Structure 1
């Protein structure tokens, strides 16, 4: 299966990448700092605080599913990253006719500062 994993260098994202590779899936890993990822995966650098839509669309192109582990590292500094980033991911998926997304995030757990 061809998978695109977003936020691939975070705590959950790293596990998703490791498990997908171990299971023999074709993985595209999307991250701000993809150089931190292990070999054996296609990496794409995208900062979802300011998403580059053509790059994000290319990252999801041809995927059977997109897995997102996007969430704030610092809830005060990254407020809204999950909702903005998810909108960008879905827009890229729609542009590329990718229909399946799985989202894992603890973003709504706890207080969210109002900007």
Structure 2
């Protein structure tokens, strides 16, 4: 499959890139600093600015799917920057007539109890609030799309480097927790779940989550 991966040098994007290449997919890696990417078979690294919708659409055209691992967390205006970027990615994907868009989401919009989201829980870390609010509002944007075949994958509350086990659970809009009451997933297994969805679509036009 020929994939355009937006945000390929980021924490989650780099894991998705590694997983996709390992499975033999051809990847166009779009990043602000493509020089950070090591050369690899089936990889084309391209400099991209997600806010330049026309240029981005031209770069996305001809791919089988777009995976967005775009994040605004490094920016001072995290929320505004992310929302401008995700709107541009959605519009560029549609303009380029790419049939599928898969989006890295956040855990903040998952429910911990009926009608109560992680983001609304006491003690939610302030440093992640703008990122979480952006991911939640991006999900709302996707749900408004009449044409786009989209999927969003939200991680568990904790996502960190670990092992690629290939053993995890999938859920929908509720936060997954393990027997110890912890909600966690390795970034490697998150990437497995994302590329699994790419290869065998099971969550068209909806959000799902992954956890141990």
User: Structure 1-normalised TM-score?
Assistant: 0.82
Is the 1:72–1:107 contact (alpha carbons within 8 Å) kept by the matching residues of 2? Answer: no
Do the aligned residues in 2 keep the contact of 1:71 with 1:105 (CA within 8 Å)?
Answer: no
Name the CA distance, whole Å, in 1 between partners of 2:12 and 2:68.
9
Task: For 1:5 and 1:55, locate their aligned partners in 2 and report how far apart those are by CA, in whole Å.
Answer: 15
Highest Rg: 1 or 2? 2
The equivalent residue for 2:32 is 32
Correspondence for 1:45 among 29, 44, 47: 47
5+ long unaligned stretches in structure 2 = 109-118, 120-127, 132-212
C-alpha deviation, 1:4, in angstroms: 0.5
**Could you tell me whether the CA contact under 8 Å between 1:71 and 1:106 is conserved in 2?**
no
Query: How many residues are aligned here?
Result: 111
- In the TM superposition, residue 32 of structure 1 has moved relative to its aligned partner by 0.4
Q: Which residue of 1 aligns with 2:166?
A: none
Specify the alignment match of 1:12 in structure 2: 12
1:62 Cα deviation (Å)?
Answer: 1.1
SS in 2 for 1:97: coil
Confirm or deny: 8 A CA contact 1:2 1:65 kept in the other structure.
yes
Distance 1:61 1:31 in 2: 16
Structure 2 SS opposite 1:79: helix
Q: Offset at 1:75? A: 6.0
TM-score by length of 2: 0.47
Deviates more, 1:60-69 or 1:81-90: 81-90
CA–CA separation in structure 2 for the residues paired with 1:18 and 1:112 = 28
Q: Residues 31 and 79 of structure 1: is their aligned pair in 2 closer, same or farther, counting only changes over 3 Å?
A: same
SS in 2 for 1:20: helix
After superposition, the Cα gap between the structure-2 partners of 1:25 and 1:87, relative to the gap in structure 1 and judged at 3 Å, is same
